[in-house]
Amino acid sequence: MLRAVQDRCGFAPGEVRVICLEGRPLHRQTQDHEIHDAALGLLESGHVTVCDMLSRRPWPTDGPDYPVYGVRSAYPPRPVPGTPSVPSVPDTAS
């Protein structure tokens, strides 16, 4: 479906992302996930433990701070929201 939407709309990379979280199978304590970009395709896949996610309720708004396991990504890791892309250097000139 995402491919059909992309064919029709022509989104640029990063404009539309879809996160797929598998329903939790019985007798398994992990959930698989995939992150797709409309223009680039599959960006990342991996799994999280259900107990890690449940311990974080209410859900964080600044990005995941629970461990994500088995991540397979075709691209460099995404920066954590709120972190500068270049480390700040203190001004010692004054």
pLDDT in tens, 25-61: 788 888 888 999 999 999 989 888 888 777 766 666 6
Q: Is-above-0.85 flag for pTM?
A: no
How many other CB atoms are found less than 10 A from the CB of residue 53?
Answer: 18
Rounded to 5 degrees, what are φ and ψ at 76? Answer: -60, 155
What's the pLDDT score for residue 83? 47
